Structure 1
Amino acid sequence: MVTVAPPHPWVYALRLPHDPRAVRVARMTVRAALDGYDRRDALDVVELLTSELVTNAYLHTKGPASLRLTGLGDGRLRVGVWDSDPYIPAPFSGSGEDFVPLAPDDAETGRGLRLVQEHADSWGGWALDGGEPGRGAGKLLWFEVGGRAKLPLLRK
């Protein structure tokens, strides 16, 4: 089956409460949108990387988060996750220290941003200005995939 990208971009945006169930809601939203646009070719990678960014937003902040999924006219998919913490981690910071080391085999965390680094085609992040001196509005981390699944299924 040949996938044809729509000629115009499409966008889904979702506000997520600070709740551990928000990660599942984000995955379900990504799955429904990509199924609806016949973009199953990118589903596994986009769903996994979205889960990682939303999980980090939940674990490292106390406030809500937002998810934005954009299908671009050239076949790329872009996912952005906003949260209330202005700290931008590697590989998103662009500080020259953008390499995320491998987590130790016995570690229970620390693999999510490495997955983004390895399986997204591009990524980045911005600290957002809150409009008042000394008051930030959090950050936006994003990644893009070109529509091809680069990651094998992670099912055992």
Structure 2
Amino acid sequence: MGTVSLPDTWVYALRLPHDPRAARVARTTVRAVLSGHDRHEVLDSIELLTSELVTNTFRHTNGPASLRLTALADGRIRVGVWDRHPWIPAPFGEPPWDRVPPAPVNAEQGRGLRLVQECADSWGGWPLGDSPLDRGAGKLLWFEVGA
């Protein structure tokens, strides 16, 4: 009888306060997790994109955020970021809001979600909660980077 090798799947979750240091904590966590699992080939991309999403939660919401890193059975890494604001920004929304236009050359911000569009293999987002009782449930934005 042969041995069965389980796929290298795992999940890490981190709750982040509404704090300007949250993006740095998220980057450090991503680096530690991916390094610990020898996923150096995707580390820089995932670290950058995670930092952009967590920075946006700090800049555009007034509550906490959550980060979830998942290694899928096929080798992809999925990163999800939850916050309390229900609005789904491009590129995570439905057409025609599924693409981020380039930021003006002299702009000091506005490139983060464009990076997700350019660097992630897939992405998406959905509001959480459909009823008035669920108001404040927020949204989940996610992206995946391949094996």
Common topology (TM > 0.5): yes
Amino acid at match of 1:124: G
Structure 1 gap ranges (5+):
1-5, 148-156
Q: TM-score if structure 1 supplies the norm length? A: 0.87
Whether contact under 8 Å (1:79, 1:144) holds in the other structure is: yes
Amino acid at match of 1:49: L
Q: Structure 1 residues 135, 7: CA separation in 2 closer, same or farther (over 3 Å shift)?
A: same
Off by >6 Å, runs of 4+ in structure 1? none
1:67 and 2:67 aligned: yes
Classify the secondary structure of the residue corresponding to 1:62. coil
Q: Which has the higher strand share?
A: 1
Classify the secondary structure of the residue corresponding to 1:137. coil
Counterpart Cα distance in 2 of 1:8 and 1:43:
16
1:12 and 2:12 aligned: yes
Which digits, 9 at most, give the CA deviation of each residue in 1:98-149, with x for residues without a partner? Answer: 11111011111100000000000000001000764472410000000003xx
Classify the secondary structure of the residue corresponding to 1:12. strand
Whether contact under 8 Å (1:94, 1:124) holds in the other structure is: no
Q: TM-score if structure 2 supplies the norm length? A: 0.92
Query: How many positions carry a matched residue from both structures?
Result: 142
Give the match for residue 24 of structure 2.
24
Give the match for residue 84 of structure 2.
84
When the two chains are superposed, the root-mean-square deviation of aligned CA atoms in Å is 1.4
